[in-house]
Structure 1
Amino acid sequence: MSAPQIVRYGELIPCRTAFIDAHTPGSDQKENFTIIGGGVSEAADQHVHIQETPGFNIGAAGQPPKCRNSLHSHRTAEVFFVLKGRWRFFWGRHGTAGEVVLEEGDIFNIPTGIFRGFENIGTDYGMIMAILGGDDAGGGVIWAPQVIEEAEAHGLILAETGRLYDTKRGEALPEGVGPMPLLSEEELAGFPEPTTAEVVPHYVARYWDLMALADRKPARVIGADAVLRDKPGFEVDFLTRGSIPSDPYVSEAHEVLMAMRGHWRLMWEGHAQVLAPGDTALIPPGVERTLFPAMTGEASLYRVRSTADPAGPTWRG
């Protein structure tokens, strides 16, 4: 039986060349973090903090104000909650089909199969934490054609293998390997263009609503019977000071704890660690653990558990 593994927020190692838009003006200051599993990074030098995957991946994106992540799509679930800052999420072929602004603690289960992007619209460096479905996170990212074309104009070429090559560093596509083909108009027509009214009520949960729901028991955020009803291969709960289990417990599934506010004391088998906001803990099945707030004041965290559901489509439009 292995022990819990903890990745500290202050020890996260960023990659600034993780994706195809790393040189594109307006997107060239992004920092990508892969916390659990390899995520969907296209860079060979991306640091992975915990290689083991519990049926899903955990990552994060850090961006200064006015920096944006370009339009892309995923085949499996992509869930974000805002750890720091204020963020605008937008979607559609050109990013104009709909949008929503998320504040700290808000969570967005972005539907699969639609193009999406996001930008930090706050006044300071912001961080969003991500949960990606599947052990291999769906096999990569599908970029809108204009993103690939603009990236090539700034020296980055995405190979058909999914690997990124930087011509500014003297890199070139290997012999026999072609560039990633652009999606055809026929293929693009298969990507939904849902409106804000169609997406937000079913895919967004607000922090203060969850705080109220989790006053006495954990709030079910994502799951078959949750606020955001879905079966993406994992389930998400929201816990507060008033809803944390008082006794030691054991989970039969892998469990990831992601502290949002306050400090949490995690105890297991004679060991104890304190989780601060932004820290991530991976706890294997069968380990008896106790979790409780370490200080007075506001305390909240997201808990993610693997399920037997396939990490499949979530868009029900």
Structure 2
Amino acid sequence: MTPQDMNARIVRYGELQPCKTAFIDAHTPGSNQKENFTIIGGGVSESPDQHVHITIPHGFNIGAAGQPPKCRNSMHNHRTAEVFFILSGRWRFFWGEKGDAGEVILEEGDIFNIPTNIFRGFENIGTDYGMIMAILGGDDAGGGVIWAPHVIEDAKDHGLILGENGKLYDSKKGESLPEGVNPMPLLTKEELAKVDCPTTSDVIGGYVRRYLDMVALANDGAVKVIGETGIIRDKPGFEVDFLTRANATEEKHAHDKPSVLMPVKGHWRVDWEGGSAILAPGDTMSVPENLAHSAVPSMTGEAAMYQVIATDDPAGQTWQG
């Protein structure tokens, strides 16, 4: 594959195109400074303004959220897996319908495989603009977002209405629901009762892994973070591996499904037959199936990278041991 072909499959951090109207809380004070990015796949944006960098189906989606300090993402649910790792900043993740059932603080490089069927939100509690990278299960990312009822009601007070078709309508722009389209119905008490509300210990122990712990594990070889044999045992339709200088190899390998390389620390050289490229933190590289390639740090110093590989498992969290 030529360097030109591969360059079309690399999204540089500095070239990411944000959308500030991606979701229903885009006008809600405290959430109105969010920037949403769809890097690979269709994403879950409710806005036609969302730019998609790479539209090639991978079996999963790659996205990101950028937020200034004290900006939060409102309580929502997904039907398939949602995995975040912290690229920059300090972040608080919380869950429960009102966001008061539990919380965890994550630092750069930490990863969180958020369980399905729980309301979750997050906020940047650092002192600078922060970025979290996201992996979402399935090519259609589970058919969109399920919002907690109060989020929909708050948004309406600030001019945004979500239609039952999953699209946003902004009264501040003179928009209204089209004829025949009703507002998105609020979840009933019976439906809310079916949403899980796990304890803090269950979530942190089962679904959170710390960057420094994974760095230590990498000294002993490959680290499968999420997978049937991973340190987070789950089968959400993709696997996640953790690479450092200690376990990276120049020996080329290939996968029978698309994969994605996402550096979190240091610069990485990716080689394949026909070319090479340097990736920096925040860059995202899509590697085609069956393309032999290798990835190793290109400079001295700290280096770490996440690798995402599609699997044949159904999109969504299926089990955890």
Q: TM-score, normalised by structure 2?
A: 0.97
Return the alpha-carbon distance in structure 1 between the equivalents of residues 261 and 320 of structure 2.
28
For residue 274 of structure 1, what is the aligned residue in structure 2? 278
**CA shift in 2, pair 1:145/1:36, >3 Å:** same
Return the alpha-carbon distance in structure 2 between the equivalents of residues 274 and 82 of structure 1.
21
Question: 2:292 aligned with 1:291, yes or no?
Answer: no
Return the alpha-carbon distance in structure 1 between the equivalents of residues 237 and 231 of structure 2.
16
Return the alpha-carbon distance in structure 2 between the equivalents of residues 185 and 251 of structure 1.
45
For residue 140 of structure 2, what is the aligned residue in structure 1? 136
Q: How does 1:230-249 map to 2 (within 5 A)?
A: 230-249=234-253
Structure 1: where are the runs of 5+ without partners?
A: none
Following superposition, the deviation at residue 52 of structure 1 comes to: 1.1
Following superposition, the deviation at residue 316 of structure 1 comes to: 5.9
Return the alpha-carbon distance in structure 2 between the equivalents of residues 308 and 189 of structure 1.
32
For residue 44 of structure 2, what is the aligned residue in structure 1? 40
SS in 1 for 2:286: strand
**Conserved? CA contact 2:27–2:155, under 8 Å:** yes
For residue 102 of structure 1, what is the aligned residue in structure 2? 106
Question: 2:151 aligned with 1:147, yes or no?
Answer: yes
SS in 1 for 2:19: coil
Amino acid at match of 2:96: G
CA deviations on 1:155-211 (whole Å, 9 max, x unpaired) are: 000000000011100111100100000000111000011110111101000000000
CA deviations on 1:246-291 (whole Å, 9 max, x unpaired) are: 3111221211000100000111122111000000000011111121
SS in 2 for 1:34: strand
Q: How does 1:36-185 map to 2 (within 5 A)?
A: 36-185=40-189
Q: How many residue pairs get matched?
A: 317
**Conserved? CA contact 1:112–1:315, under 8 Å:** no
Return the alpha-carbon distance in structure 2 between the equivalents of residues 217 and 161 of structure 1.
47
**Percent identity at matched positions?**
68
Return the alpha-carbon distance in structure 1 between the equivalents of residues 202 and 182 of structure 2.
38
Structure 2: where are the runs of 5+ without partners?
A: none
**Conserved? CA contact 1:260–1:300, under 8 Å:** yes
- Could you tell me which of 226, 234, 243 is aligned with 1:222? 226
**Conserved? CA contact 2:69–2:124, under 8 Å:** yes
- Could you tell me which of 205, 209, 218 is aligned with 2:209? 205
**Conserved? CA contact 2:235–2:319, under 8 Å:** no
Return the alpha-carbon distance in structure 2 between the equivalents of residues 151 and 51 of structure 1.
30
For residue 199 of structure 2, what is the aligned residue in structure 1? 195
**Conserved? CA contact 2:233–2:320, under 8 Å:** no
Return the alpha-carbon distance in structure 2 between the equivalents of residues 22 and 89 of structure 1.
19
Cα RMSD between the aligned structures? 1.3
Which 4+ runs in 1 deviate beyond 2 A? 1-4, 312-317
Return the alpha-carbon distance in structure 1 between the equivalents of residues 318 and 197 of structure 2.
14
- Could you tell me which of 25, 31, 48 is aligned with 2:29? 25
SS in 1 for 2:202: helix
Amino acid at match of 1:157: I
